[in-house]
Every structure is written in C-alpha cells, then in structure tokens.
Amino acid sequence: MKTFGLFIDGEWQDAKGGKTAPTINPATEEPWATVAVADPEDVRKAVAAAKRAHDSGVWRNKSPQERGEIMQRVASAIMESTSDLAAAEVQDSGATMRKAMMTDVAGAAGTFTYFGQFIAGDDYKRMLCEEYEEVAPIPSKNLVVREPFGVCAGITPWNFPLVMAAWKIAPAIAAGNTVVIKPASVTPVTTLMLGEICTKAGVPAGVVNVVSGPGATAGEELAAHPDVGKVSFTGSTEVGRRIMQLGAGTLKKVTLELGGKSPNIILPDANLDTAALGALWGTFFHQGQVCESGTRVLVHESIHDKFLEKMIAGISRIKIGDTMDMATTMGPVVSAVQRETVERYVALGNEQGAKCLVGGKRPSGMAKGYYYEPTVFDNVDNKMRIAQEEIFGPVVSIIRFKDEDEAVRIANDSTYGLGGAVWSSNKDRALALAKRIETGTVWINDYHLINVKYPFGGYKQSGVGRELGKWGIAEYHEIKHIHIGEDTPPEGKLYLGLLLS
C-alpha cells in the first residue's frame, strides 16, 4: 500500500500527532493508500512555511516571466506523470481511467500552462500597473498596481481533486502568492503528489504546501488563520457559508464555488439526436458529481416524448464497470455516504410523485463498489426536492415547459445559479434565452465545456467571485493606488488652504 505524508516547506512530513488514515478505492471498497492526517498544529506549520516563503521574496520577487517559466515546467512535469497521477485519481475518487487521463491530468497541466503563459504576456503587464495622468484638483500621476496577498488558502472537494487543486494553486502562485491547500479527506492523494511535482519542477520550498486533514479541524484552522489573506473554496453551499464566517474574523478575501441545480433547456427546434446525448453528457459525466451538471432538463412539451425516447436509448451506451479499464465510461460515486445520499433522493423523488423511468437502483451483478445506475425521473415539478436540492449523483429530472417564458421562470426558480444550457438550431433565439438565465455559465448546443481562459463561478447561492481566466487571477491580487504628486513649493498645493489660513 502506498503511503503519503503532508507536503510542507518543500518536503514530506509526518503529521505532528502521527495520525494516518486509509484512503478507499470507491470501485473496490478497499484501502489503496495511507495518508497522514493533519491537525490544526500541522496547518499552522504549513501557514508559517508559506508566510516565510512569501516574506523572503523568493517567489514574489521573481519577474512574472520567471514565474511563468517555472509554471510551464510544472505543466510538463504533470504530463510526464500522467500514468501515476491518473492511476491515483482513479483509485482515490472513482474517476474512470478515461476521465482521469483526458480530463484530470490534461486539465491540471493546461491550467498551469495557461496561467504561466498569461503572466508572461502583455495583458498581464498592463493589468499589473495602470498609469493615469490627472490635472485637477492638482497635477498628479496615478499608478494602480496589483500585488499578491501573501498566503492564500485553497480548500477543495472530492469530485475533481487534481483539477481543483490546479485551479487553486496555479492562479495564486502566478500572481506571486504562496499557498496552503487542503484537499477533501476522501481524495487527498493527487493534490499531495502535485505539491511535490511543483517543488521538483522549481517552485521554491514553502510556496506550495499541502495538508490533508478533516474539514472540521484542519479546514477550520486554515480558513480562520490570521496569516491567510485569501481563501478559495470549492464544495457545498453549506460549508461555503461557514468559510465566509471563518474568514470574517480577519476580513479575508473569499472566493466560493458552490453547488448547483443547473437548467438544461431543450427548445423544440433543437437537433434532438444531439440534444438527447448532450443531456446525458450534461448529467451523467463523472456519475453526475459535477457542480455545474445540467440536472434539471427542461423539455418543450411538443418534443418531450421523442426527446426522452432518444435520451433513454442513449443510456445503453454508458458502460458501467472497472474504473481502470479504458473502455469504462461510468464508475462508482465517491463513497458509501454519497451513494446513500443518492438513494435518499431517489426515494424522495418517488415519494413526491416523480416517475422513475430508468435506473433508481444499484446495478445488478456488481458485488463491490459504490456504483449506482444512471437514473431518469420524468414528470418532475420544479418545486420537488429532487429539482431544488443538489444530489451530486447520476440522477436527472425531466421538467416540461410550454413556452420560453415558462422555461425561464422554471430555470431561474432555484437558489442556485451555476451553469446551464440551451439547445436550439436558432443561435439568436438561444442567445436571447441564455441572457435571461441567472447563472454564471450558459452553453449553447454544448455542455460542461469549461475553458481555463474564461470565468467560472456562480450567481446567487452558487458562489462568490470567479475562477479562471484574467478574471480568476484578478481575485488573487490586492489593488493599490499610488498617487505621485508634483514636487512644488507650498503654493502649488491648493488643498493646504483648507487647513491653513
């Protein structure tokens, strides 16, 4: 069995209390690695290492080009470790090997490549220092400069552990900060591996630190620590609220990427073959454990039956099985606890009168693993709990609408506002509808295509702030205004007359 420590100050360290915990492969229900469990003292040690590294200037005083070059080396090192990282992600999180190779490893490397290139370019140079000349009330030159916060904390979930770690680390260090990352307790391994990869690729010791430990103790310590200037969190809305409260003690900057119940709207003029398969992709990719999943499929009543027929036919093409097999397209959910959550919601859907057309149970013939069948509920009313609450499993609700106004009303009748889509052969019509949906991302005739160049985040209770792109890196800077006045005799300083007679 593999063993992992905490990654602090550029080296592997045991947890102070010596505690370790196994991490379970969701496909086999067997432990596959042992990981050190940080307590608050370990977190304080990691924050101290990150603060020392920041204060020393070893990272922030490098030019953006130098930092960018090192980040390109991190990206290459991630790609060189593809097999190890993908195997770890599969065993830790229940991802399929297909997803781990094509999405997780490539996505993490792509995030370092993008931010490394961005900070080496002219757009970032302009962003770092803007200059303005003023003539009134007195002549001055004004610089608006951006500076790193210092120590940034990242707290990440279990659905995309490696990609989420990259989304937190890459923009933070690109902007000159140092980081302490706490991965989810059930999926710590690839984040720990990434910490070591960063250091080996040339990121100085102490700039990237990884502490795996329970949210309730290690996570709280990190989110509240006075030397942490900014916290970026991805996870449930409930814990997001708690992170805000913890940060409030020292008025930290906070970015939150939270839950969703995203609407996927199928207009009557959509290409139904594509839209039906797109709805499967939008809901069942990674067993539905994706925050922006299109879990409410809003279908125009005139195409409802035909659309559902195609969608259900498509389910037979989803291959549930051994996650290490490249042919498998659907693995288990992350844990026994998560499968129980899914089962609770399926029972609720049945109780509240929705019609379970497909799935609604564990697959037969699979003795081990937290597997669950892709499940489609029809006749869902948007008020039902399965349409309002995040399930985070392979369960989709089909909701009919009569016209576009009703589709918009249903789409926006949610406390969440993360993602969504419109499928139509008329792009103008789809665009007009997309603008009326209260979410941070809307796809037209596609789903789940998050691009590291463009902002990602939520309206309403789906989040605060944005990740990715120039909007994402902007969240990792303090903004300073420097006023440069003229060196004149006192008569030149008109404001002195306000005080002096």
- Interface ranges with ligand NDP (CB under 6 A): 155-159, 182, 184-185, 214-216, 219-220, 223, 234-236, 239, 242-243, 257-259, 291, 341, 390, 392
Catalytic residue among 257, 292, 467, 475: 257
Identify which of residues 228 and 276 has a Cβ nearer to ligand NDP in the complex: 228
Least Å from the CB of residue 204 to ligand NDP: 26
Query: Which tokens is 144 given?
Result: 């608006």
Element (H, E) at 384: none
Least Å from the CB of residue 338 to ligand NDP: 6
> Other C-beta atoms within 10 Å of 306: how many?
12
> Other C-beta atoms within 10 Å of 426: how many?
12
Q: Give dist(CA 29, CA 399) in Å, integer.
A: 35
- Cα torsion 462, 288, 216, 220: sign: negative
Q: Give dist(CA 95, CA 104) in Å, integer.
A: 9
Least Å from the CB of residue 318 to ligand NDP: 21
Least Å from the CB of residue 217 to ligand NDP: 9
Identify which of residues 73 and 339 has a Cβ nearer to ligand NDP in the complex: 339
291 is catalytic: yes
**Given the DSSP bridges, would you call strands 477-485 and 140-148 parallel, antiparallel or unpaired?**
antiparallel
Least Å from the CB of residue 58 to ligand NDP: 28
Q: Give dist(CA 229, CA 152) in Å, integer.
A: 6
**Total residues belonging to the chain:** 501
The DSSP 8-state label assigned to residue 476 in this structure reads T
Identify which of residues 193 and 201 has a Cβ nearer to ligand NDP in the complex: 193
DSSP β-bridge partners for residue 30:
25
Identify which of residues 158 and 476 has a Cβ nearer to ligand NDP in the complex: 158
Identify which of residues 60 and 168 has a Cβ nearer to ligand NDP in the complex: 168
- In angstroms, how far is the first alpha carbon of the chain from the final one? 81
Q: Give dist(CA 230, CA 173) in Å, integer.
A: 13
Q: Closest CB to ligand NDP belongs to which residue?
A: 215
171 — phi, psi (to 5°)? -65, -30
Least Å from the CB of residue 215 to ligand NDP: 2
Identify which of residues 258 and 398 has a Cβ nearer to ligand NDP in the complex: 258
Catalytic residue among 196, 291, 292, 467: 291
232 — phi, psi (to 5°)? -115, 120
Least Å from the CB of residue 50 to ligand NDP: 17
Residues 6+ apart with CB under 8 A from 46: 6, 8, 9, 38, 180, 209, 210, 211
- Cα torsion 308, 311, 313, 316: sign: negative
198 is catalytic: no
Contact, 311 vs 280, CB < 8 A?
yes
Identify which of residues 237 and 424 has a Cβ nearer to ligand NDP in the complex: 237
Residues marked as catalytic: 257, 291
